[in-house]
A and B are shown apart, each in its own frame.
Chain A
Amino acid sequence: MRAFLTIVIGTLTVVALGAQQAAAPQVTSQDLLGGLKDPSRWLTYGGDYNGHRHSPLTQITPDNVNQLVSQWTFQTGTLGSFQSTPLVVDGVLYVTGYNNNAWAIDARSGRSIWRYRRNLPEDLRNCCGPVNRGFAALGDRLFMATIDAHLLALDMKTGGVLYDVELADYKLGYSATVAPLVVKDKVIVGIAGAEFGTRGFIDAYDVQTGKRAWRFYTVAGPDDPGGKTWPPGDAYQRGGGSIWVTGTYDPQQNLIFFGTGNPGPDYYSQAREGDNLYTASLVAIDADTGQRRWHYQFTPHDVHDWDSTQVPVLGEIPINGQPRKVVMFANRNGFFYTIDRTTGKPIVAKPFVETTWAKEIGPDGRPVMLPGHLPDEDGSKTCPDLGGGTNFMSPSYDPTSRLFFVTARETCAVYYAWEQKFKPGEQWESGGTIRPKDQKNFGALRAIDPATGQMKWEFRYTSVSSSGVLTTASGLVFAGDGEGNIMAFESRTGKNLWHYQLGFPVRSTAGTTYMVDGRQYLLVPAGSVLTAFALPQR
Chain B
Amino acid sequence: MTRARSRLWPALVFAISGGLVFAQDLPGRSETLPPGKNPHLGNKESIRAGMALYRIRCADCHGLDAAGYRGPDLVTAIAGGLTDERLFQTIRKGVPGTEMPAATTSPDDDLLLLIAYLRSVGTVAAPESPGGDVENGGRLFASQCASCHRVAGRGGRIGPDLTRIGIARSRSALVREIRTPSEWIGPSYETVTLVTKDGQRIRGAKKNEDVFSIQVMDSRERIQGYLKSSLQDVVYEKASLMPDFGPGRLNDKDLNDLVGYLSTLRGSDMTVR
Distance in angstroms between the alpha carbons of A79 and B52 in the assembled complex: 28
Q: Are A305 and B1 in contact (CB under 8 A)?
A: yes
- Judge if B126 is at the interface, Cβ distance under 8 Å: no
How would you classify the secondary structure of chain A's contact residues: helix, strand, loop or mixed?
Answer: loop
Interface-centre pick from B2, B28, B55 (highest chain A CB count, 10 A): B2
B residues in contact with A98, CB < 8 Å: 17, 20-21
Distance in angstroms between the alpha carbons of A142 and B13 in the assembled complex: 27
Interface string of B1-33 (1 = CB under 8 A from A): 111111111001100111111100111100000
Q: Are B56 and A429 in contact (CB under 8 A)?
A: yes
B residues in contact with A528, CB < 8 Å: 20
Q: Are A261 and B17 in contact (CB under 8 A)?
A: no
- Judge if B49 is at the interface, Cβ distance under 8 Å: yes
Which of A99, A175, A504, A507 interacts with B2 by CB under 8 Å?
Answer: A175
- Judge if A148 is at the interface, Cβ distance under 8 Å: no
CB nearest neighbor in A for B14: A129
Q: Are A131 and B212 in contact (CB under 8 A)?
A: no
Q: Are B53 and A427 in contact (CB under 8 A)?
A: yes
CB nearest neighbor in B for A80: B21
Q: Give the contacts of B187-232 with A (CB-CB under 8 A).
A: 209-212
Known: A305-B7, A429-B52, A434-B69. A122 touches B28 (CB 8 A): yes
Which of B4, B20, B21 interacts with A387 by CB under 8 Å?
Answer: B4
B residues in contact with A266, CB < 8 Å: 1
Closest 7 CB pairs of A and B: A483-B210, A129-B17, A122-B27, A192-B2, A79-B21, A432-B55, A128-B5
Q: Give the contacts of A111-149 with B (CB-CB under 8 A).
A: 120, 122-123, 125-131
CB nearest neighbor in A for B10: A432
Supply 12 A–B pairs (Cβ within 8 Å), ascending by A: A80-B18, A81-B17, A122-B27, A127-B13, A128-B17, A129-B13, A130-B105, A433-B7, A437-B69, A437-B184, A483-B210, A528-B20
CB of B260 to closest CB in A, whole Å: 26
Q: Give the contacts of A412-470 with B (CB-CB under 8 A).
A: 413, 416, 420-421, 426-427, 429, 431-435, 437-438, 460-462, 466
Interface size bracket, A side? 35 or more
Q: Are B1 and A434 in contact (CB under 8 A)?
A: no
A residues in contact with B40, CB < 8 Å: none
- Judge if A86 is at the interface, Cβ distance under 8 Å: no
CB nearest neighbor in B for A484: B210
- Judge if B60 is at the interface, Cβ distance under 8 Å: yes
Q: Are B211 and A481 in contact (CB under 8 A)?
A: yes
CB of A480 to closest CB in B, whole Å: 11
Interface string of A252-268 (1 = CB under 8 A from B): 00000000011000100
CB of B144 to closest CB in A, whole Å: 26
Q: Give the contacts of B147-185 with A (CB-CB under 8 A).
A: 184
Distance in angstroms between the alpha carbons of A496 and B210 in the assembled complex: 14
Known: A79-B20, A79-B21, A130-B105. A195 touches B5 (CB 8 A): yes
Known: A128-B2, A485-B211. A432 touches B7 (CB 8 A): yes
Q: Are B25 and A416 in contact (CB under 8 A)?
A: no
Q: Are A433 and B8 in contact (CB under 8 A)?
A: yes
Q: Are B2 and A177 in contact (CB under 8 A)?
A: yes
